[in-house]
Chains A and B, each alone.
Chain A
Amino acid sequence: MSQVAELNTLAVGDEIPEHDAGPITRWVLAMFAGGSGDPNPMHIDSDFARMVGREDVFAHGMLSMAYLAQLLTNWVPQDRIRSFSVRFASITPVNTSVRCKGKIIEKFEEDGEQRLRLELVATVDDGAVTLTGEAVVACA
């Protein structure tokens, strides 16, 4: 119950603990292709990537979304998450690391419970924003 009290005391503008993930090596991309069931060669076959005009493979967008999900589940139990959405803003190059951040932007009541709305962002090494998103989390 202490966690409930903690969430209720958070205010708009408060940030949640950051989550750093990666580096996204080629091994990670191969594991994620299999682990997530995504056969797209664009993420694991550099010959294919070059053939279609890319310099190299790049990370699955859903890998960074999984990192943003870890930002949330490291902070609250997963069953508190009501919704989670992202927009993929730019490509995540291979061999970069991902920094995930979240900030409370609204406190509101819905379906008989107190909820928090968070703004989420993922950036890579050079500070480029790769994903932006939102999550709604129940306080209790």
Chain B
Amino acid sequence: MAIDKKYIGVETEDRYIDVEAGQLKLFAMATGQTDPIYCDNDAAKAAGLPGIPLPPTFVFSLGNLAESKEFSIAEMGINLPAVLHGEQTFTYHKPIYAGDRVRLKSKVVDIYDKKGGALDFIVQDTTAHNQNDELCVTARTVIVVRN
């Protein structure tokens, strides 16, 4: 079942998320992070940072945690167990810290298939701006669907 290419160009609305120190601390625990700048505001300040930094991959989690729904693959008629994360890219423009309010916007930029339709690929780009409207991170996610 090929995914309908009509979804190319579909964009989410703006989605907002407050970066919470407690969530970053949980992420640090989950990932075995031992550097205290990633969970302790005083340690981050001592290292010359304005606050606890958002770790390099956490913009992906902001997408999971943000208000309102991301454009859902369920709406494309895809069932979750058939889905794999194929590729993930982040490009960094400005750092994000605990206490920032981040605005996310995602867009489906491509849909294509391989192996005679056995695999479908969905490419989605996301931008993350901070509360000062500065572009902080751009991300690209490639989702693979096994048909």
In contact, A81 and B56 (Cβ under 8 angstroms): yes
CA distance A38 to B70 in the complex (A): 13
A65 touches B84 (CB 8 A): no
Give A66 to B60 CA distance when docked, in angstroms: 11
Q: How far is the CA of A36 from the CA of B27 in the complex (A)?
A: 6
How many residues of chain B have a CB within 8 Å of chain A? Answer: 32
**B89 and A31 contact, CB distance less than 8 A:** no
Contacts of B86 in A (CB 8 A): 87-88
Does A70 reach chain B (CB closer than 8 Å)? yes
Interface pick from B3-11, B29-37, B112-120, B127-135: B29-37
Contact of B87 among A69, A79, A86 (CB under 8 A): A86
What's the A-B contact tally at a CB cutoff of 8 Å?
A: 101
Distance between Cα atoms of A22 and B33 in the complex (Å): 11
Query: Which of B55, B65, B90 counts the most A-chain CB atoms under 10 A from its CB?
Result: B90
Whether B88 pairs with A40 at a CB distance below 8 angstroms is: no
Chain B 6-40 near chain A by CB (<8 Å), digits 1 or 0? 00000000000000000100111111110100000
Interface residues of A (CB under 8 A from B): 21-22, 28, 31-32, 34-40, 42, 52-53, 61-63, 65-67, 69-70, 72-74, 78-79, 81-88
User: Nearest 5 pairs between A and B by C-beta?
Assistant: A37-B64, A35-B30, A31-B30, A85-B89, A69-B56
Which B residues lie at the A interface, using CB under 8 A? 23, 26-33, 35, 53, 55-58, 60-61, 64-65, 80-81, 84-92, 95, 140
